[in-house]
Structure 1
């Protein structure tokens, strides 16, 4: 019984070595990881915006250079390219029926195209400077909203090609905007003046009905599906605001390291969260190359994914099967997720005259058969078989064998002769647990004591070992003081040990000085 208990502790392993932390994969992480990414390369320049058609099969549009490219969401292949632009295209938006698409460019022009024929139907000229965003209101086929570097927001009558309202109030470039999902007359815009304004076109004085200050130049703003909350992106943070509560900030997400460039809303189903109702997530991308998924019901980041380039745009399909991310180097990372139902229908049904191939059935071996008792070693066990597993024999090192026989001093000397400091520390920890380490040190002869002092000189200043080894060093010097004074070799080891400790103390003092210089600077930067 004692032998069995001892075998569980061998071979001895170091306890001071930090174990790598492996994050636990959640069902939601598995859900977002199931979007297998593929690249859509060869686009001319940065992907300034991405948008999905609201109608099935949900093609998506990407703006890059002086072009607007349309892609299939099934094969991620380009279906058409619109090049009727004189300058860089900045934004695009599908109409609610998916038949028309509006696009803006930095020449100040907004154009409306027929998706099938790709012919320009309307050209809206009023902005004097680059237009940065254009948006169709939800369920509205007759109007458009645009904003640009002239700090103006315009509400357009598309048929008449003239602005109905010219909304003033921003003091810097208007860079983004979004329309309310519950009202065709309300929308928000974000500007480099750090503010986000809520507009209602029914208000006659052309003033915003609400304003919030993000604190940094606003790169993107979106309505959340309820219509009562908005999310804003600026600097390295994403903030959620309660519109119904008068513009109160609900939460600030500080998970990115560089400027957040784009936001969108993604919807996940019950196959991920295990609940009947579908839930929404905020997806954000930034110049640090990360895409983050934020659950704003629980106020936490639930997934993060790294891409090898700065990210400028993101979009998620309305049917929750694809997502696309645009980069600064002209590559779109498109991801498609095959639903479980689709897999089952493919495996369970067969159409077009194709007959499923049946696998040949193997003859089951029964205990009454003669061949049952002559199976080879490669035979796999059946489901009901009882497996008798032979325990693997653990090969023990010399110091483990000596510890097992309670020959403590010899085990310490044996491991000191090896070149692995982790094994030495592991043996020392085992001897401390047995209360035999100091007794072993007192019984070492001069040559063996030299081995111990040499080991302490080399490794006592290493941070993960220093807690044990520095206290042991003090005890060794106290207990073997007379032997050290009588031996020149031992004195040399002690001098080397003292030199390494003095150098470590100098380094630590130098680091403390640097910390004293940096800490006030960080406090000043934090106040700003």
Structure 2
């Protein structure tokens, strides 16, 4: 059944863009409903044991709680702290745990007996992060006294100490492939890379804002730093080259974690979101949302459990549901959609399918513009498919039939049109078309606008108010954009001036050195 070569109206161009279903979406949606546990105080740090049953340590207030991810209950409680505890992390074998505290001490615990095995004293301020080195023989600590220290576990003595920062050191990490390489990040925006075999930092990088968290990728050659709303990726093998910048959060990023055997990166922030990135492309592939700002994050081996700690003391525990059958079937469907099209050398015509003509296409084909407009302004069409109404309005404007459809008719159509414009004017997909529709509507009633009474007159005033609000908002956004551009320009100028100053100073130093060498030669 054909309609005299009449082309149906294209309404898809105004539809909302649908989220693409990917393998990552299906995989991470296997996480079950979160179990929430309440602690006293913000959750400073979360770390998983690498040994079954993969318990995790949550550092909060004056204790370190060791939870079972299966029962979601506290298995052990390490509470031998006088002040706040920070950064409790397991050793590889899960038998020892190290944590810092507000007093500047570093404490080593036996996770089975809960006894303190070693007490390392030497920091003068709070120690926020502590980690074991890969050889299991030393502990590195990062403190508010601007120092990074290395401690020998067997002798309980200080091995090495560095003071290369100008502000608090709240972030740090140990290279997973070398026990001698450690990185630290401070509130002075600087990242320092140390080799414990030397007495100075080997690489120095500028993140641009205070650094909250750092991690090495499993290869040990790539370092990630989080500060502000940005994650920066550094190649430490090539001397600290900046590889990428990731900016998917709109509030401060507080924690980083590597999962999926080094294939995925997690980042949590104060915007209540946890973003998941693909290591190969550094693209965000999934987002998890939590009830409050995320301070700490942990992922169990093989992604069996995802735990997030929040500022209000809530701990969210999500276990992966083993639903392999559904996952495989869903993955097959996604793979089918991702298959490239097959090109053929000839096409066999098929029997033409029956076409179903929509109501609005029927009236448009017969040039019954009033009936087409009346149909798409019905409440059930507007509520379910507003993009259809917009498409018909645009088609009527192109045909110069909208003014005819409104002029000389009952005010009911104009009233419904006013309500539609007022409701959807702020929708960016529809704004351009609705501005044209509002202009045509006002042209029709420009001579009798002051005589209108009742609902139509009232809703024309509402429409004018909505338009004024949008104009005011647009002006404010333009002003904000100008302020941001000014700040960016001034920042770039400062960086340029600093670069020129450094280059000039280097030239002066080189010339002075050349003069000294010439004097010595004489």
TM-score norm. by structure 1 comes to: 0.73
Q: Judge which range, 405-414 or 192-201, deviates more.
A: 405-414
| 1:82 is the counterpart of 2:78 | yes
Matched with 1:286 is 269
Number of equivalent positions: 447
Alignment partner of 1:218: what SS? coil
In structure 1, C-alpha distance between the alignment counterparts of 2:303 and 2:389, rounded to whole Å = 56
| Aligned-residue offset at 1:502 | 8.2
Alignment partner of 1:255: what SS? coil
In structure 2, C-alpha distance between the alignment counterparts of 1:280 and 1:415, rounded to whole Å = 52
Matched with 2:497 is none
Q: Which runs of 5+ in 1 are unaligned?
A: 269-278, 345-390, 478-483
Q: Does the Cα contact within 8 Å between 1:441 and 1:449 map onto a contact in 2? A: no
Q: Does the Cα contact within 8 Å between 1:39 and 1:333 map onto a contact in 2? A: yes
| Aligned-residue offset at 1:159 | 2.1
Give CA deviations for 1:310-348 in whole Å, capped at 9, x if unaligned.
11111112233112111111111112114457999xxxx
| Aligned-residue offset at 1:39 | 2.5
Give CA deviations for 1:32-63 in whole Å, capped at 9, x if unaligned.
22122423423111110111112222211111
In structure 2, C-alpha distance between the alignment counterparts of 1:309 and 1:148, rounded to whole Å = 27
Which of the residues 309, 313, 318 maps onto 1:335? Answer: 318
Matched with 2:346 is none
| 1:408 is the counterpart of 2:371 | no
In structure 2, C-alpha distance between the alignment counterparts of 1:337 and 1:409, rounded to whole Å = 55
Report matched runs for 1:319-330 at 5 Å: 319-330=302-313
| 1:151 is the counterpart of 2:115 | no
| Aligned-residue offset at 1:113 | 1.0
In structure 2, C-alpha distance between the alignment counterparts of 1:60 and 1:459, rounded to whole Å = 54
Matched with 1:161 is 156
- CA distance 1:186–1:343, shift in 2 (3 Å): same
Matched with 2:495 is none
In structure 2, C-alpha distance between the alignment counterparts of 1:225 and 1:235, rounded to whole Å = 24
| 1:135 is the counterpart of 2:136 | no
- CA distance 1:195–1:400, shift in 2 (3 Å): closer
Which of the residues 182, 187, 194 maps onto 2:182? Answer: 187
Which of the residues 483, 486, 490 maps onto 1:521? Answer: 483
Which of the residues 221, 240, 243 maps onto 1:250? Answer: 243
Alignment partner of 2:302: what SS? coil
Q: Does the Cα contact within 8 Å between 1:230 and 1:240 map onto a contact in 2? A: yes
In structure 2, C-alpha distance between the alignment counterparts of 1:119 and 1:109, rounded to whole Å = 15
Matched with 1:312 is 295
Comparing both structures, which one devotes a greater share of its residues to helix?
2
Report matched runs for 1:31-46 at 5 Å: 31-46=27-42
Matched with 1:355 is none
Matched with 1:379 is none
- CA distance 1:517–1:239, shift in 2 (3 Å): closer
| Aligned-residue offset at 1:519 | 4.0
Q: Does the Cα contact within 8 Å between 1:459 and 1:466 map onto a contact in 2? A: no
In structure 2, C-alpha distance between the alignment counterparts of 1:225 and 1:334, rounded to whole Å = 25
Q: Does the Cα contact within 8 Å between 1:264 and 1:314 map onto a contact in 2? A: yes
In structure 1, C-alpha distance between the alignment counterparts of 2:86 and 2:92, rounded to whole Å = 20
Which of the residues 86, 90, 107 maps onto 1:111? Answer: 107
Report matched runs for 1:165-176 at 5 Å: 165-176=160-171
| Aligned-residue offset at 1:303 | 0.8
| 1:470 is the counterpart of 2:439 | yes
Give CA deviations for 1:76-95 in whole Å, capped at 9, x if unaligned.
32111011111111111212
Matched with 1:271 is none
In structure 2, C-alpha distance between the alignment counterparts of 1:404 and 1:514, rounded to whole Å = 41
Matched with 1:198 is 193
Give CA deviations for 1:478-515 in whole Å, capped at 9, x if unaligned.
xxxxxx99xxx799469979999987887677566545
Matched with 2:117 is 121
| 1:27 is the counterpart of 2:23 | yes
- CA distance 1:519–1:106, shift in 2 (3 Å): same
Alignment partner of 1:169: what SS? coil
| Aligned-residue offset at 1:247 | 0.1
- CA distance 1:67–1:465, shift in 2 (3 Å): same
| Aligned-residue offset at 1:414 | 6.5
Alignment partner of 1:171: what SS? coil
**Greater CA radius of gyration, 1 or 2?**
1
In structure 2, C-alpha distance between the alignment counterparts of 1:327 and 1:147, rounded to whole Å = 22
- CA distance 1:439–1:184, shift in 2 (3 Å): closer
In structure 2, C-alpha distance between the alignment counterparts of 1:95 and 1:296, rounded to whole Å = 25
Q: Does the Cα contact within 8 Å between 1:416 and 1:452 map onto a contact in 2? A: no
- CA distance 1:219–1:470, shift in 2 (3 Å): same
Q: Does the Cα contact within 8 Å between 2:414 and 2:441 map onto a contact in 1? A: no
- CA distance 1:42–1:308, shift in 2 (3 Å): closer
Alignment partner of 1:55: what SS? coil
In structure 1, C-alpha distance between the alignment counterparts of 2:365 and 2:479, rounded to whole Å = 56
In structure 2, C-alpha distance between the alignment counterparts of 1:312 and 1:27, rounded to whole Å = 28
Alignment partner of 2:27: what SS? helix
Q: Does the Cα contact within 8 Å between 1:43 and 1:330 map onto a contact in 2? A: yes
